[in-house]
Amino acid sequence: MKDLIRTSKRWVGMVIVLGLLVCHVAAESGNGTVAQPGAWCSQGQVYGLSSAQKEMLQTRLQRITGWTQLSFAENGKLEIGDLTAIEGGSLRARLSLLQALRSGKQFVIEDHSLSGAVNFGQLDEGTNYTDERIALHLEIYRVRLDFADFEKISATPEVKDSFDEGFTFLHELLHGLGLKDTHIPNEIGECETIINEMRAELGLPLRAQYLADLLHITPLIKTIRLRFREQSIDGRGLTRWKTRHLFFTPDFAFGQESQAFSPNANPTSSCLSLY
């Protein structure tokens, strides 16, 4: 009788373990990434980041935040490490990233390089994920990054540092926290207002417009121009602001239109959003 009881307990234990394993496997967000709060690199075959892309994004975020131990774990999770291990960086960036990571939401970073539908970065509309077996309720957002777009930028090194993969990622996280862009020319919107605070703390040029200008160099050749402001001190010690520009050559620059952009009817210059 005692042997029977011990055998029954072993079977019950095995069933519980198997049940936990099934629940663990089920709790995935559809791209090979475990469904848990925080920021994760997609582990899927289609949109998964390469090792080089992970390292690049990690380096960018370390520079912006100053967190020297920030890294992507083997399972793709973005980990900060010791919160006090800081060298330079922006306090505003640290607070914003920490807010997103502790929001209870999941942000899955996907590689959409060479996509005609993504301009530098994009956040999807979000998905409500539920697994009743483990009482899991989670908002999942996909952060789509087009790494190839950044190779098409022409600008000074300082402006490029102000408009890199790290800032684009943080911009999309702010969308996930509820902040909005603008569709009014010469305004920068809620997200870029926060991003500009980060840039200012790093001594980088500030974005002066959210909607970029689509310039027609010829009837068939086009380029996109985005305006920045860079602070400097003149010989008398007075603060001066210089205008700097970022130029981007999109896929349709030589006559092939893209559905990702919606220029207006102005034949020489239009306004459009990059991310």
- Write the pLDDT tens digit of every residue in 15-36: 343 344 333 433 555 566 788 9
As a whole-number percent, the residues of the chain with pLDDT over 70 amount to 80
Region 98-123: mean pLDDT is 96
Q: Does residue 105 have a pLDDT over 50?
A: yes
- The answer to whether residues 178 and 126 touch, using CB atoms and an 8 Å cutoff, is no
Computed over every residue of the chain, the mean pLDDT equals 84
Ranges of beta strands (E only) in 97-218 are 106-111, 121-123, 127-131, 136-145, 153-154, 206-207, 211-216
Q: pTM (2 decimals)?
A: 0.82
Q: Which helix (H) or strand (E) holds 183?
A: none
Q: Which helix (H) or strand (E) holds 167?
A: helix 165-176
As a whole-number percent, the residues of the chain with pLDDT over 90 amount to 64
Residue 6 amino acid letter: R
Residue 16 amino acid letter: I
Residue 189 amino acid letter: G
239 vs 227: CA distance, rounded Å? 19
Ramachandran angles phi, psi of 114, nearest 5° = 65, 20
> Would you tell me how many other CB atoms lie within 10 Å of the CB of residue 268?
9
Q: Is residue 266 very low, low, confident or very high in pLDDT (cuts 50, 70, 90)?
A: very low
Q: Is residue 238 very low, low, confident or very high in pLDDT (cuts 50, 70, 90)?
A: confident
Q: Does residue 243 have a pLDDT over 70?
A: yes
Q: Which domains does the chain have, with CATH numbers?
A: 38-209 (3.40.390)
- The answer to whether residues 78 and 70 touch, using CB atoms and an 8 Å cutoff, is yes
Q: Does residue 265 have a pLDDT over 50?
A: no
Q: What is the pLDDT of residue 14?
A: 45
Region 239-249: mean pLDDT is 92
192 vs 204: CA distance, rounded Å? 14
DSSP-assigned beta bridge partners for residue 207: 228
SS3 at position 201: helix
DSSP 132: G
Closest CA to 274 of 247, 253, 256: 247
Lowest mean pLDDT among 29-43, 191-205, 214-228: 29-43
Residue reference for tokens 């009743």: 132
